[in-house]
Structure 1
Amino acid sequence: MSQPKTEDTGDVSSTASEPLPTSVMAGPVSHAILRVARLHRMLASQLLRRVGLHPSQELVMMQLWERGPQRPTDLARLLGSDAATMTRTIQRLEKAGFVRRLSSPIDKRATIVEPTAASNALRQEVERVWLDLESSVAGGLTPDQQTEAIEVLSRIEDSLARATTHTG
C-alpha cells in the first residue's frame, strides 16, 4: 500500500497508479516522463555518490575511457551538453582528481581533457553502478519489453529533438 504523496519533498512512495492531478491531465505522458526522470536521477545520484561522482560526470568519464582524450567542445557535443555546463563538469572532475586538462599538441589554443590514473581505477566501479541502475530500471521487464521501451523512448527523444529545433 502506498502512502499519500505530499508536495515534492522527495517522497518516492508515490505510484503510477495514483490519479494524476487535474492540472496535468492535458499531459499525462509528459507527467510520467518527469516522474520517471526524477526517480532515475535520484537513484543514479545515490549510486554514483558511493564512487565520488555526481550524475552526468560518469558520462564524461565513460567518453574519456572509451575514446581517449577529448576537447571539451567534443565532449559537450557527444553528450548533448552546452559549453558552460561541460566546463563546470570538467572543473569539478579535475578538482576531484579524475581528469586533467592539457594543451593540445596540434593546436596550442585548444584544451584537451584526459582521464587520470585515479579515474581509471574508478572505471569498474562506475560500470558496476550502471549495472545496478539498469537492474533497478529494467529488472522487472522481459527482454521484449526492454526492447519495446527503448524503441518508444527513442521515438519520444526524436520527437523532442525535432520540437526543440523548431521552437529555438
Structure 2
Amino acid sequence: MAEPAPQAGREPTGTAREASVPVPAAAGGGPISHAIFRLARLHRMFAGQLLRRIGLHPGQELVMMHLWELGPQRQADLVRLLDSDAATMTRTVQRLEQAGFVRRRPSPTDKRASLIEPTAASHALRREVEEAWSRLEDLVAAGLTDDERAAALHTLERLEQNLLRAADDPAGDPASAPPE
C-alpha cells in the first residue's frame, strides 16, 4: 500500500522519503518513466489543491492562460494549443463558461465557429492563477539552487523532446530517431 502523500504546504516528516508509490518489479526496466508517473501524480494533486482555492480545476488555468495571452480563440485552436481532445475541451469551456470566466461569441470570419474569450471576471482571476503557479513552482523546486533548477528544466525539456521525436517517428521507436 502506498504511503499517503503530504498535503500542500506541509513538509514530510523524517529525513529522506521513499517513493510515494511503490515501484513494482515489472517497472524495473523503466525507473525514469515510473519517477515521471509519480512526479506527475503529485504535481497534479498539489496543483488541484491550489487551484480549488480559486475556483478552478487542473487544466482550466491553462486554457485561461492562453486566452489571456492570445485573446479570443476558436475552441479547435484551444484543442490544438493544449494538445487536448475536442470532448475534454468542450467540457472545460462549458465549466469555465458556467463559472463566468469565459463567454462565446460568433466568429466574425467564420459563421460556423464561435470564439471563446476571457471575461472581466477572469481577468481578476489572473493574478491568483499566477500566484498559484508560483507557489507550485516553489513546492516543486524547494531547496534547489539556480543551477539545479536550470539543469532540471533542461533535463525535462530533453525528455519531452525525446517523446515528441518518438511520436513523430512512424515506427514509434525512439532509438531510430536522430540524436539531439
- Match for 2:92 among 89, 93, 96? 89
Give the aligned length.
160
Equivalent in the alignment of 1:155 = 158
Gaps of 5+ in 2: 7-16, 173-180
How far did residue 19 of structure 1 move? 7.2
Equivalent in the alignment of 1:57 = 60
1:1-168 matches, within 5 Å, as 6-7=1-2, 11-12=4-5, 15-16=18-19, 20-165=23-168, 166=170, 167=172
Identity of aligned residues (%): 61
CA distance in 1 between partners of 2:131 and 2:22 (Å) = 36
Runs of 4+ in 1 over 4 A off after TM superposition: none
What is the TM-score normalised by the length of structure 2? 0.83
Over 3 Å counting, the alpha-carbon distance change for 1:24 and 1:74 in structure 2 is same
How far did residue 164 of structure 1 move? 2.5
In structure 2, give the amino acid aligned to 1:91: Q
Secondary structure of the residue aligned to 1:141 is coil
How far did residue 65 of structure 1 move? 0.8
Q: Which moved more, 1:53-62 or 1:137-146?
A: 137-146
Secondary structure of the residue aligned to 1:102 is strand
What is the root-mean-square deviation of aligned Cα atoms in Å?
Answer: 1.9
Over 3 Å counting, the alpha-carbon distance change for 1:17 and 1:94 in structure 2 is closer
In structure 2, give the amino acid aligned to 1:154: E
Deviations 1:20-78 (A, max 9, x none): 33221111000000000000000000000000000010000011111111111111111
